[in-house]
Amino acid sequence: MTASSLFETSILGPMTLKNRLWRSATWENMADDAGHMTPELLEIYENLARGGVGTIITGYAYIRKEEQANPGMMGIYDDSFISEYKTFTDRMHELGANIILQGCYGGSQTNFKPESRLIWGPSAVEHPIFKVTPTSMNQEDIAALIDSYAQAGRRAKAAGFDGFQIHGAHGYLLSQFLTPYFNRRSDEYGGSIENRARIIYEVLEAVRKEVGPEYPVLIKMHSTDEWGDQGLTPEESVFVAKGLETRGITAIELSGGHLSKDPSTLPIKPKIINERKQSYFRGPAAMIAAAVEVPVILVGGNRSVAVMEEILGSTPIQYFSFARTLLSEPDLPNKWKQGFRDRPRCVSCNQCWGEDKNICILDRKKEA
């Protein structure tokens, strides 16, 4: 396996991918108060597209107007976004990148105005970190949520996005349904992994009805919650992935972990300069990739060409996505293609997240 393998062209549904490198959805905290595009946010995406990554997944966009999990999120909750996003997607295509919209319902993993919002959850279980107790969803709520995802997918297609990604990871609502700690239901949406996955299957099926059989619909989900018997296991993730495959998922991006005071369980793990600590979900992700035919995208600590080449050559994982690394260095794919093999600028310090906007701490110091 040679370095050029990361930069070979491949086909995913109707999309042509110029390389195997993706930008994973990353919350930039730069949209306006209603979730609309700003010049500053557009510049972030233009730099990513110019920087050589083949496919960009947007930061999570909230699918219901009253359910904004964090400030500065993009929105996709009504049709007013379609025309402005069409201008945005046209620009990304001009710059040579595919662009996929990620839709999300946040839930109890939030500290953004929780006292003034109705926040849904699979069960009324207080979040262990954010201390928010959601309202347990009834059948009518579940139907409304499913329709919100479906309409978000429809809008993404109408706006010219190359695909739509369902956010089912990182402690947000859909991933909470998969996680026993949060999901303590006794109806058809709780208990067995088949029941806990039901809402995700129904979301996918509803999106498919809106966008048709060929339009790329992806999901970001966990390979493992790293939470023992309170979390989603790799074996359960295999079950979910197989169910998604039979229902028409186009590709699966695999992350993992959960928020806690132990850094080793975080989805974005710090202190991973050593290559042995990088690409840290490769084990369970490879197991899941071996169980399905649809492509798997690995996210989490990918920052070494040598490590990615080894994974590409020895496992069924086909693609790699990046968040913090491209937040710090959006032109890293171009540098890799040109032969750069030194350490990336990002040192995985997890200090990208600011009160006003989310940028690399090294850039924040420049602005000070």
- In whole angstroms, what is the distance from residue 173 CA to residue 122 CA? 8
Cα 273 from Cα 329, distance rounded (Å): 16
CA–CA distance, 327 with 27 (Å, rounded to integer): 10
Instruction: Give me 260's structure tokens.
Output: 């806690």
Active-site positions read 172
**Burial zone of 127 (CB within 10 Å; 0-12 exposed, 13-18 middle, 19+ buried):** buried
pLDDT digits (tens, 9 = 90+) for 59-112: 999 999 999 999 999 999 999 999 999 999 999 999 999 999 999 999 999 999
Residues whose CB falls within 8 Å of the CB of residue 78, separated by 6 or more in sequence, listed in order: 65
Report how far residue 287's alpha carbon sits from residue 239's, in angstroms, rounded to the nearest whole number.
Answer: 11
Contact 255, 170 (CB under 8 A): yes
H helix runs in 264-322, sequence order: 282-291, 305-314
Residue showing tokens 């956010």: 167
Domain boundaries, the chain: 3-367
Q: What pLDDT is recorded for position 325? A: 97
In the predicted model, residues of the chain with pLDDT beneath 70 are: 1-4, 368
Structure tokens at 338: 């040109």
| Strands 15-17, 10-12: pairing kind | antiparallel
Q: What is the pLDDT of residue 164?
A: 98
Give residue 365's pLDDT: 72
Query: Domain 3-367 adopts which CATH fold?
Result: TIM Barrel (3.20.20)
Helix (H) or strand (E) holding 75: strand 74-75
Angle ∠(236,120,219) on CA atoms, nearest 5: 40
- CB under 8 A, 24+ apart: contacts of 119-126: 119/67, 120/67, 120/145, 120/173, 121/173, 121/176, 121/182, 122/173, 122/176, 122/177, 122/182, 122/183, 122/184, 122/185, 122/189, 122/190, 123/182, 123/183, 123/184, 123/185, 123/190, 125/181, 125/182, 125/184
Q: How far is CA 171 from the centre of its chain?
A: 11
8 Å CB contact between 107 and 121: yes
DSSP letter at 114 equals: G
163-168 vs 217-224, strand pairing mode: parallel
Up-side HSE of residue 131: CA atoms within 13 Å toward CB? 1
Q: At residue 152, what is the residue type?
A: A
164's enclosing H/E stretch is strand 163-168
Render pLDDT for 2-25 as a digit per residue (tens, 0 to 9): 445 999 999 999 999 999 999 999
What is the four-CA torsion angle of 141, 256, 263, 336, rounded to 10 degrees? -130
In a 13 Å sphere around the CA of 239, the CA atoms on its Cβ side amount to 14
Q: Are 285 and 298 a contacting pair, CB within 8 Å?
A: yes
Distance between first and last Cα of the chain: 44
What is the identity of the amino acid at 368?
A: A
